[in-house]
Structure 1
């Protein structure tokens, strides 16, 4: 395959994230051509549409890669079948429901010789790579994460997100953890956590984490789905040579209070540029540290019951 040839792509799960991000990024990019879609409820014009995933795998007609945009609880079986069929696989975040599933998929892909890309879209925000570069020459003394949003605004009617395996407030919180682990070197350690569960839900609506970096710097994180009014997605890093702040989910970068990086959202465009690079060079990119931090938060977390959540 040459760099000028478009990669034939299938998209599984034609929901909101697919229509808002995946489809426009492919249509506006130069690397992928969506040839097939698999969904019980949605269709993509100009693509061959399937309701059955198994039927698609039996009639995939030259498709090389697939993007899995389904909820995480069904993604393992779909990814497993795609890998067995020899397809290169892109997985929406979080890549799997458990660390066991994630690690198993990485081993399967390696043995099959296919590409596996576990995406963390917030890592592709405008300010994240410049932040990593700036921090690479500094001593980090502390990190503070404040990630507070209104669940009714961003996840209306998504009942699965409150069920076992649905992640609750860690669905957005894992975005912050993906940025953290991209800009801070080494493994981050969870020391303790406090998790707030609505009386009528299986997943937390808020969480407080105390962590430390591999070098010993303290890291605190506050996640909350009850934020009304202005929404907050900030990461502040104190260093021996100044203060760095990533705002608006990584879209803006401030150094000592001065805005140094901003621009239009291109997270998913960059994801597909990266996926094309991986497919053409036959390399995988599957970092599961953000998922491991969520798992560790549940392992170390104190459970607190709060008032019932009524949408």
Structure 2
């Protein structure tokens, strides 16, 4: 496939407008041909449809879809799209459960289409340099601090508080997508405490202790109630200095000296995702790494749930 890949964007919420549309427009791999939304939202006069079934029935030529729906409803939509022979881009988290994502991976392989479980934070500019630096050093300990204001970043998104919505692990899984990429050894949950508002089904904060296969501790602190400065940081102490990834992975500091920085949040992340999606489609392969989702699932399996005050937006 050498011509632009004909793409439909499914689910026209905040992330689709803020990240997907600009990234698609800026790249050359994809040609946006339609949008799909329950509200029937058109972009630039393109055809729009209420659901993927209506899209398929229209006869419009589509090669691939990007699914930006909440994770709770994504599996059935993705399964249908795979059945149509469309390549599928899954916004993170790729599904509500591990079993869903594995089933989609197997279905895509059987159909011969590409499936991409996207982890946008892995495409932040500091991530690969951090991975390379850590690969040559011994990790002693690490700390993940991911604190943001849910009212700012997820306004009116009630789905995030429902079962399968992940709560604070919706952003927390971004941190885990970076940690599972840059840390040289596998790590596992030892203990976890999950603060769950009494009127919600998903946690608003969490404290997790991981340990890797060599015994190094990785502490994780998540909180959706952060006001003022927001924190998206991973600090790793090694036998040869301390590495800090801040601002969600876009700024890399080693021993207090900034090694890489960009002013814009999410600099290059979604263009990077679409570059990767285009590459796997053209290569006829899939990219489905479930390690960040597995880490979250393990936290929920081992975590102690603590009821806290109600959350009202």
CA distance in 2, matches of 1:23, 1:308: 35
Tell me which residue corresponds to 1:17.
Answer: 15
Tell me which residue corresponds to 1:262.
Answer: 261
Q: Does structure 2 conserve the Cα–Cα contact (< 8 Å) formed by 1:35 and 1:46?
A: no
Tell me which residue corresponds to 1:176.
Answer: 175
Q: Does structure 2 conserve the Cα–Cα contact (< 8 Å) formed by 1:196 and 1:305?
A: yes
CA distance in 1, matches of 2:174, 2:94: 12
Tell me which residue corresponds to 1:272.
Answer: 274
Tell me which residue corresponds to 2:309.
Answer: 307
Tell me which residue corresponds to 2:47.
Answer: 48
Matches within 5 A, 1:180-259: 180-259=179-258
CA, structure 1 residues 34+196, in 2 after alignment: closer, same or farther (shift >3 Å)? same
Q: Which segments of structure 1 move beyond 3 Å, counting only runs of 4 or more?
A: none
- Structure 1 counterpart SS, 2:22: helix
CA distance in 2, matches of 1:230, 1:82: 41
CA distance in 1, matches of 2:213, 2:79: 33
CA, structure 1 residues 300+27, in 2 after alignment: closer, same or farther (shift >3 Å)? same
CA distance in 2, matches of 1:177, 1:222: 12
- Structure 2 counterpart SS, 1:132: helix
How far has the Cα of 1:192 moved from its partner? 1.2
CA distance in 2, matches of 1:128, 1:25: 19
Report the TM-score, using the length of structure 2 for normalisation.
Answer: 0.96
Deviations 1:36-76 (A, max 9, x none): 11112222124221113211123353211110010001100
Tell me which residue corresponds to 2:95.
Answer: 96
**How many residues are matched?**
309
CA distance in 1, matches of 2:243, 2:27: 32
CA distance in 1, matches of 2:214, 2:115: 30
CA distance in 2, matches of 1:64, 1:212: 42
Tell me which residue corresponds to 1:298.
Answer: 300
How far has the Cα of 1:16 moved from its partner? 1.0
Deviations 1:211-244 (A, max 9, x none): 0123331111000011111001100001111110
CA distance in 1, matches of 2:280, 2:177: 19
CA distance in 2, matches of 1:257, 1:142: 17
Deviations 1:103-126 (A, max 9, x none): 111111111111000001101011
Report the TM-score, using the length of structure 1 for normalisation.
Answer: 0.97
- Structure 2 counterpart SS, 1:138: coil
CA distance in 2, matches of 1:287, 1:190: 18
Matches within 5 A, 1:44-193: 44-193=43-192
- Structure 2 counterpart SS, 1:73: helix
User: Any unmatched runs of 5+ in structure 2?
Assistant: none
Q: Does structure 1 conserve the Cα–Cα contact (< 8 Å) formed by 2:235 and 2:244?
A: yes
User: Any unmatched runs of 5+ in structure 1?
Assistant: none
CA, structure 1 residues 37+239, in 2 after alignment: closer, same or farther (shift >3 Å)? same
CA distance in 2, matches of 1:186, 1:103: 23
Q: Does structure 1 conserve the Cα–Cα contact (< 8 Å) formed by 2:105 and 2:288?
A: yes
- Structure 2 counterpart SS, 1:253: strand
Alignment partner of 1:35 is 2:37 = no
Q: Does structure 2 conserve the Cα–Cα contact (< 8 Å) formed by 1:14 and 1:43?
A: no
